Amino acid sequence: MKISELIRSLVPYEPGKPIEETKREYGLDKIVKLASNENPLGVSPKVEAAILGSINNLHRYPDPSSYELAKVIASKHTDLNIEAGNLLFANGSNEAIDLLVRVYCEPGDKILTSEKAFIAYKICAQAARALTTEVKMAEGFRIDLKKIQEAWTPEHKIIFLPNPNNPTGTYFPRQEWEDFLAHFGNRDDVLIVLDEAYTEFVRAKDYPNGMEYITQTSNLMLSRTLSKVYGLAGLRLGYLVGNKEYISYLQRIRNPFNVNALAQAGAKAAFLDDEYIQKSQKIVWEGLDYFYKELSKMGIRYFESQANFVMFEVPGGRAQELNTYLLTKGIILRPLAGYGMSEYLRMSVGLEEENQMAIHFINEWLKSR
Ligand SMILES: Cc1ncc(COP(=O)(O)O)c(C=O)c1O
């Protein structure tokens, strides 16, 4: 069988090291996983009740249109006049990225993004036989919108922009975004995908929230997820907001039941659970401030983050060594060699005691060197 060279050479997404695997490998009972930017609070009781309440209907196929979910999102943005036709729901925003590339790129087309941007864009593009152009970052691992603008050619059918970005935690500010939109907005030869997976954690005052631009920019797609602030990474729900015509093409090719019944029930409850959202934000902001303080004390260079994790540079470039040391202590962080940053680690915010444990063992490793 002849297999496409792009499939043969595809390096699959490498998720955070699983808890059970780490327990087995290192003979440990307790694991602190700070590797996948998950929500450490656990599932909201309201979401749990909603999911349990929907179990009796599992013998039926789910609503293929996720109608109730669309209604909830519309009700949260009444000022924007968002309707069901503006929304596409997916099995995590990762599926939405996949659908975007499949619809908007022909084999041989290209997508444009930043280097060290969330890796799924490149993987999904390659799976659809499209190529990726990655543009150098600006100082401080910031996405350089000017350079991206300069690098664009008509072959680039989609520009993927994560704001804030994973794994760097950095963001681009309002002015840079508006300059970029002045150039690319409302064109019909390129789609702009703004990935706001971490938007609820942003504290920067000059952060441009994509929702503000969606109605006035015909070629803008906004990607959101329930995996982060809503604490539902395991349930798999992401969604796109965009103009009705562009959304309709994605609807044509998605699997009819891509969002399962439990995800629809749980997500609906999650969207309305303001108390849980505020708690999630608080724990992340306090955790980040704690990390900044402790990393500074240790003389470790970190990058201020607008997300629920922080990226830091391991002294002496010994990230792999520190990572292995932490694994032996039951702490899983995320190495970033796959992003070409082998001297850096990414650490998600956990519960207070989990954060303290991680810091304790980083400190211990530093002292033992
Ligand atoms: C920037 C960004 N976008 C999208 C996703 C995918 O999220 P999910 O597929 O869980 O919705 C992630 C996950 O970590 C992410 O970091």
- Residues 316-353 have pLDDT tens digits of 999 999 999 999 999 999 999 999 999 999 999 999 99
Rounded to two decimals, the pTM is: 0.96
Among 273, 296, 330, where does a domain finish?
273
Q: What CATH number does residue 255 fall under?
A: 3.40.640.10
Closest approach atom of ligand 1 to CA 164: 1
The CB of 172 under 6 Å from ligand 1? The reply is no
Residues 284 and 184 in one domain: no
Tell me 93's DSSP state. Answer: H
Answer yes or no: are the C-beta atoms of 86 and 244 closer than 8 Å: yes
Q: Ligand 1 centroid to 93 CA: how many Å?
A: 6
- Does 258 lie in the same domain as 362? no
Closest CA to 190 of 224, 231, 227, 151: 151
Q: How confident is the model at residue 24 (pLDDT cuts 50, 70, 90)?
A: very high
Q: How far is the CA of 27 from the centre of ligand 1 (A)?
A: 30
Say if strands 32-33 and 131-135 run parallel, antiparallel, or are unpaired: unpaired
| Residue 28 burial class via C-beta count within 10 angstroms: exposed 0-12, middle 13-18, buried 19 and up | middle
| Whole-number pLDDT of residue 51 | 98
188 shares its domain with 312: no
- Give residue 149's pLDDT band: very low, low, confident or very high (50, 70, 90): very high
Question: Is residue 257 located within the same domain as residue 279?
Answer: no
Say how many C-beta atoms besides its own lie within 10 A of residue 63's C-beta: 15
Does the pLDDT at position 22 exceed 90? yes
Please report the atom of ligand 1 found closest to the CA of residue 307.
Answer: 16
Residues 269 and 294 in one domain: no
124 and 39 co-located in one domain: no
Which residues span the domain enclosing 363? 5-43+275-368
pLDDT at 369 over 90: no
Is the pLDDT higher at 245 or at 13?
A: 245
- CA nearest to 16, candidates 32, 30, 34: 34
Q: Is the pLDDT of residue 83 over 90?
A: yes
Full DSSP string of 116-179: TS-THHHHHHHHTT-EEEEEPPBTTTB--HHHHHHH--TTEEEEEEESS-TTT-----HHHHHH
Total length of the chain: 369
**% of the chain exceeding 70 in pLDDT:** 100
Pair 36, 49 in one domain: no
For the Cβ of 141 lying below 6 angstroms from any atom of ligand 1, the answer is: no
Structure tokens at 71: 């209604």
Instruction: Name the domain count of the chain.
Output: 2
Strands 334-335 and 344-348, by their bridges, are: antiparallel
- 141-159 mean pLDDT: 98
Q: What is the pLDDT of residue 231?
A: 98
Distance of CA 195 from the midpoint of ligand 1 (Å): 8
**Distance in Å, CA 199 to ligand 1 centroid:** 11
Tell how far the Cα of 236 is from the centroid of ligand 1, in angstroms: 10
Considering the chain, what is the average pLDDT of its residues?
97
- 222 and 320 belong to one structural domain: no
Q: Is the CB of 143 under 6 A from ligand 1?
A: no
Q: Which of 255, 273, 291 is the last residue of a domain?
A: 273
Share of the chain above pLDDT 90, in %: 96
Position 14 pLDDT exceeds 90 = no
Per-residue pLDDT tens for 109-143?
A: 999 999 999 999 999 999 999 999 999 999 999 99
Q: Which among 39, 79, 67 has a CA at the least distance from the CA of 227?
A: 39
Distance (Å, rounded) from C-alpha 88 to C-alpha 224?
A: 10
Among 208, 239, 273, the domain boundary falls at 273
More confident residue, 356 or 13: 356
Q: Is there a single domain that holds both residue 238 and residue 310?
A: no
Write the secondary structure of 234-270 as one string of H (helix), E (strand) and C (coil).
CCCCEEEECCHHHHHHHHHHCCCCCCCHHHHHHHHHH
Q: Are residues 178 and 291 in the same domain?
A: no
Domain CATH number, residue 363 = 3.90.1150.10
Q: Kindly state whether residues 110 and 251 are assigned to the same domain.
A: yes
Nearest residue by C-alpha to atom 13 in ligand 1: 197
Assess whether pLDDT exceeds 90 at residue 78: no
Give the integer Cα–Cα distance in Å for 331 and 101.
35
For residues 158 and 294, membership in a common domain is answered with: no
